[in-house]
Amino acid sequence: MQAEVEVQQEQEILYKQEKKRLTRKKLDSWLLLLPTLAIFIFFFLLPLFFLFITSFKTFDAGSGIGSEWTLQNYVKFLFDKFYLGVLWRTVKIGLLTTLVAIVISYPVAYQITKANGRLKNYLTLLVLSPLLISMVIRCYGWVILLSNNGVVNNTLMKMGWIDKPLTLLYTEFSVVIGMVHVLFPYMVLSIMGSLERIDPSVIRASQNLGASPIRTFFSVVLPLTLPGIFAGSVMVFSLAVSSFVTPAILGGPQVKVMSFLTYEQVTTMLNWPYGSAIGFLLIFIATITIVVYSKLLTRSEKGVAIQ
């Protein structure tokens, strides 16, 4: 009887020690996470919270933000065809940028993963090289290429393909081109990560079973790389719909998007509440689009066909 009591007491001591160790480990984890969490709260959640609060305030010509509460900022945006058109243009540019980036990036990522040694490193560095150049400089490079007297129009006119310059600059086309150039590396790196994780034996098994290279790609390679495509699409779409510099330089006032509209309301009109409402709607719509995209991906049959 005494032995059983001693064993039970020893087990209780061991249990308390283990519980104390786990508590200390959890506390250490929280202490390590605390600096990052504090930065996230201070620089993201708090500004987002104040943006949301400001969006329900009235406009005051003197201070910019009134003291009364109102829903008029959201009503004004959601029931005005002009602002809804700007919203649709922003989402459309984001979707087109994402689609073009996928189509262009996939072959590049595939060829880089097939390369070996130094060639692979050089190709990866070549893909990443645009990130080393300022976004403003890259956009003005496209201005030189796409303007009425730019390289593209002059070349086409000298070849006799056109009689007068094409309107390429300050259009949705120029904005999408600039966006793809800026966001292209993010998509390539995401797809490369998925391609490099594919087990080569799976591809060899498909070929041994008689599948052609095209069928192997669509039945094996493409479904296995969907997580990378999804991750890249989320990054590219989020950055595209929230981008300001590229639409402002390549689109100008003719191609207004939500970010440009927010900037215009806050800095030119000094209407902080309405600008806050537009900014919060942009964040909300981008989040909803990403969630819907994620749901469609998870419901797909083998990642390809929606059930």
**8 Å CB contact between 221 and 205:** no
Dihedral, 215, 219, 223, 229 alpha carbons, nearest 10:
10
pLDDT at 65: 82
Collapse the DSSP code of 88 into the 3-class scheme (helix H, G, I; strand E, B; otherwise coil) and give the result: helix
**8 Å CB contact between 86 and 98:** no
> Which class for 257: exposed (0-12), middle (13-18), buried (19 or more C-beta within 10 A)?
buried
Q: Write the CB contacts of 43 (distance below 8 Å, at least 6 apart in sequence).
A: none
pLDDT at 90: 92
Both tokens assigned to 192: 């490369």
State how far the Cα of 66 lies from the Cα of 54, in Å rounded to an integer. 9
- CA distances from residue 267 to 71, 89, 108 in whole angstroms, order as listed: 22, 22, 41
pLDDT at 7: 59
Collapse the DSSP code of 149 into the 3-class scheme (helix H, G, I; strand E, B; otherwise coil) and give the result: coil
Alpha-helical (H) ranges within the chain are 2-40, 46-54, 72-78, 81-114, 117-128, 135-146, 151-158, 172-196, 200-208, 213-216, 222-224, 226-242, 245-246, 258-263, 272-298
Q: Write the CB contacts of 144 (distance below 8 Å, at least 6 apart in sequence).
A: 150, 151
Residues in a beta bridge with 301: 305
Per-residue pLDDT of the chain (307 residues; tens, 9 = 90+): 556 656 566 667 766 767 777 777 777 777 788 888 888 888 888 888 888 898 898 887 777 788 888 888 898 888 888 989 999 999 899 999 999 999 999 999 989 988 887 888 888 888 888 888 888 888 999 999 998 888 888 988 888 888 888 888 899 999 999 999 999 999 999 999 888 888 888 888 887 888 888 888 888 888 888 888 888 888 899 889 988 889 999 988 888 899 888 888 888 888 889 889 998 888 888 888 778 777 776 665 444 433 3
Give the pTM: 0.80
State how far the Cα of 292 lies from the Cα of 297, in Å rounded to an integer. 9
pLDDT at 6: 62
pLDDT at 303: 43
